[in-house]
Amino acid sequence: MSGRRNILITVGFVLSISLISSALTAMMMFHYDSRLQFNLLNTVCGEVLEQDPQAEKIISAALKEYTGGNADGTARKDVLSVWGYRIADFSHSLHWTGDLAVAAGVLAGFCLLLVTLLYRNKKESMRIQGLAEYLEQANMGKAVILSTTGEDDFSKLEDEIYKTVTFLYQTKEAAVQAKNDFAENLSNIAHQIKTPITAISLSLQTMQRDNSNNKVEQIQKQLLRLSHLEEALLVLSRLDSGTLILQREEVDVFTVLVLASDNLQELLTATGTSVDIPELGGMAITVDLDWTMEAVMNLMKNCMEHNPGGTIHCAYEQNPLYTEIRIWDEGAGFLKEDMPYLFERFYRGRNAHEGGIGIGLALAKEILKRQNGTIRATNKQGAGACFEIRLYSH
């Protein structure tokens, strides 16, 4: 509310109280005046009767004619009361007019006071609603500069809210900038790695022509490892910077698992590992098919590396809250000391596969997290390592 509105509210309060006070004062004065008239007439009638007792009938008849009352006594000192007259009887013509005037004044005062209070409450409600809407816009990142609406009780609160929102925006921008810088640096590192990979690749081709098979095999392993590292770093940098856009669509869980297994078929065949994917009925999930398949492939690959020649088992179920996918092997399972760190980037456990870079599980977790999902690792009783994925519906 502006200063002008505050003045209007103050004037409304003053007028309301003034009207009510005036009406009550008028009522008191009216009754006081009526009592004076009654006492005066009482005194006059008493004096007349003392001088001429025979005038009683004349006075009584005159009073009855004036007021419509009935005489029922002959006392001399308080003649009018003895005769049955009251104060109101001598102000009969003004009585109802005065009462109506007083009632009208009081009613008008209360109405004006009520209107003033309602007006003030409405303005305060609008003010609170405006600040609440501003905070909602701030939460959605759409807040604009608060416009000045004048000095009132909410001005200090408005200033503090604006300062807080501005500080939060600045903090957010700084955090986003730091994140972008980190992602850019990570991307630069990945691109820098690409140069020696290319050089190694060219050297490998030269050595292949010279039939240096021993060294060729070693270089091929290192080259493959560097290639995987470069690809993983580029994906992680895109995830960190938010430039990796996930195209979510409705797909069947069975389809995701089968496609992931098919993409690993060459590795599975080479190690003699099989994948058991039962058909448990249609269960739709809303995810990015390619990247979710990538996450599942990393989990299957982990199971294959820790139990080559065995079987990778899959199971899935759905409820109103989430869809759960379980992938486990028949190996020795995870070491207790490794379990808290399994999904950390570049972490390689004691029994990690030779040539691994420690990014697969971290990448899988990040992809699932960005699709409203979670993942945890456990040791399945009587089996081996088990991964539990939950993709939430909301």
The residue behind tokens 């609406």 is: 149
Supply the pLDDT for residue 90.
57
Kindly state the greatest CA–CA separation across the chain. 161
8 A C-beta contact, residue 146 and residue 162: yes
65-79, 147-161, 293-307: which is most confident: 293-307
pLDDT at 80 over 70: no
How confident is residue 63, by pLDDT bands cut at 50, 70 and 90? confident
| pLDDT score recorded for residue 321 | 93
Dist CA 67 CA 38 (whole Å): 12
Three-state DSSP class for residue 73: coil
Taking Cα atoms as reference points, which of 231, 280, 283 lies closest to residue 393? Answer: 283
Instruction: Kindly tell me if the per-residue pLDDT of 252 is higher than 90.
Output: yes
- On whether the CB atoms of residues 361 and 232 are closer than 8 A, the answer is no
Write down how long the chain is: 394
Residue 278 binned pLDDT confidence (cut-offs 50, 70, 90)? very high
Amino acid symbol at 324: E
Torsion of CA 194, 198, 199, 201, to 10 degrees: 130
Q: In this predicted structure, which of 25-34, 84-93, 159-168 has the lowest mean pLDDT?
A: 84-93
pLDDT at 300: 94
Check whether 249 has a pLDDT greater than 60: yes
Give the mean model confidence (pLDDT) for residues 331-342: 87
Instruction: Phi first, then psi: give them for residue 151, nearest 5 degrees.
Output: -90, 125
The mean predicted confidence, pLDDT, of the chain is 77
Residue found by looking up tokens 């309060």 in the block: 13
User: Phi and psi of 245, rounded to 5°?
Assistant: -90, 125
Measured distance CA(108)–CA(234) in Å, rounded: 77
Question: In the prediction, which pLDDT does 318 show?
Answer: 94
Given a cut of 60, is residue 76 above it in pLDDT? no
Q: Are 345 and 308 in contact (CB under 8 A)?
A: no
Please report, rounded to a whole number, the percentage of residues in the chain having pLDDT higher than 70. Answer: 69
110-118 long-range contacts (CB < 8 A, ≥24 apart) are 110/16, 110/20, 112/12, 112/15, 112/16, 112/19, 113/12, 113/13, 113/16, 113/17, 113/20, 115/12, 116/9, 116/12, 116/13, 116/16
Report residue 147's pLDDT band, with 50, 70 and 90 as the boundaries: low
The string of pLDDT tens digits covering residues 82-121 is 666 666 665 555 555 556 666 666 676 677 667 777 777 7
Three-point CA angle 26, 31, 34, nearest 5°: 125
Considering only residues 311 and 154, tell me which one the structure prediction assigns the higher pLDDT: 311
Strongest mean pLDDT among 107-111, 251-255, 329-333:
251-255
Amino acid at the residue 85:
Y
Category of 334 on φ-ψ map: left (φ > 0), alpha (ψ -120 to 50) or beta: beta
